[in-house]
Structure 1
């Protein structure tokens, strides 16, 4: 695929990814009982898209998808929108080490992916989101750090379970290079 085709593919992936992110966030979030904190199916999907299309696609899918979800539900909350972009970029950065598009997702890859995604989720939700909430909205630290830590743990679990299954499933649909041979 040439560079122009790759750019168009990435732009389409960002548009479709942001739309699916919104739909998942709007209709497949499970409230936890902690205010404004849910078990999200958006982040496993974001991890899949970022792994396939790269860190910049992950960044923009997270930013745009989360912004649309906020705008069409309860109002734009920039600190968490930015954090979703950060998470998407982080997932894409980890995904660069994987070869799922070549049909490879080994147990070692699963471990690499999950260690990386836990680090990204905890940095994003337990540190960045609360810090931005305090800086941007003067939210009480005790409140936002509880929300952030719970979100970081829940997103890590969701990405660890659903994201790993999505990546494994995607890799299994790809043809491994060198697996086709010409018969005589």
Structure 2
């Protein structure tokens, strides 16, 4: 019987993933020349969790983790970017089935697919959702927020392409490949 809610495993993944998100966001951000825009090593981790657990977990970890890290580090939460992070996790999570990580498969085709998805997810999150939210919610100047969004898309895309691909490859390597076990006679 399938349920529509979250499993205990997914709830635990959200809790632990959000906590790790906060720690990574706090201690692995590398500033860029663009104000309020960093190279973030937390996004490859978010991509890994979303690819393993799916869209609901990806959205929740991105949303909760970003909201908490903003509040802890800055004393306020920048909701347009929090929503964008959740949407990024959601989009990566939707690619879970074609990636087939649970069967230990992460070859050339999956790497290409993952990186196309993550680049599209970054573009949607940081070039569309975050800047438009900044303009509508905070009345920020369009030229400023689109420069920030494009910078975030490029830096996150490159970081995920390198670190995220390595994380997914390592995770897939821990799984038993489908059809690799044979019954002994």
**Unaligned segments of structure 1, at least 5 residues:** none
Counterpart-to-counterpart distance in 2, 1:169 and 1:178: 19
Counterpart residue number, 1:26: 26
TM-score (norm 1): 0.96
**Unaligned segments of structure 2, at least 5 residues:** none
Per-residue CA deviation, residues 26-77 of structure 1 (Å, 9 max, x unaligned), is 1001001211100001111011000100001000000000011001011211
Counterpart residue number, 1:135: 136
How many residue pairs were aligned? Answer: 184
Counterpart-to-counterpart distance in 2, 1:83 and 1:107: 28
Counterpart-to-counterpart distance in 1, 2:160 and 2:102: 18
- CA positional deviation for 1:3: 5.6
- CA positional deviation for 1:177: 2.1
Counterpart-to-counterpart distance in 2, 1:164 and 1:172: 12
Counterpart-to-counterpart distance in 1, 2:28 and 2:43: 11
SS of corresponding position for 1:39: strand
Q: Residues 2-151 of structure 1 correspond to what in structure 2 (within 5 A)?
A: 7-74=7-74, 75-151=76-152
The ranges of structure 1 where at least 4 consecutive aligned residues each deviate by more than 6 angstroms after the TM superposition are none
Counterpart-to-counterpart distance in 2, 1:124 and 1:8: 28
C-alpha RMSD of matched pairs (Å) = 1.7
- CA positional deviation for 1:127: 1.5
- CA positional deviation for 1:179: 1.0
SS of corresponding position for 1:76: coil
Q: Residues 160-175 of structure 1 correspond to what in structure 2 (within 5 A)?
A: 160-175=161-176
TM-score (norm 2): 0.95
Task: Judge conservation of contact 1:94–1:117 (CA < 8 Å) in 2.
Answer: no
- CA positional deviation for 1:106: 1.1
Task: Judge conservation of contact 1:125–1:151 (CA < 8 Å) in 2.
Answer: yes
Counterpart-to-counterpart distance in 2, 1:93 and 1:183: 38
Counterpart-to-counterpart distance in 1, 2:153 and 2:96: 19
Per-residue CA deviation, residues 115-151 of structure 1 (Å, 9 max, x unaligned), is 1110110111011100000000000011100000000
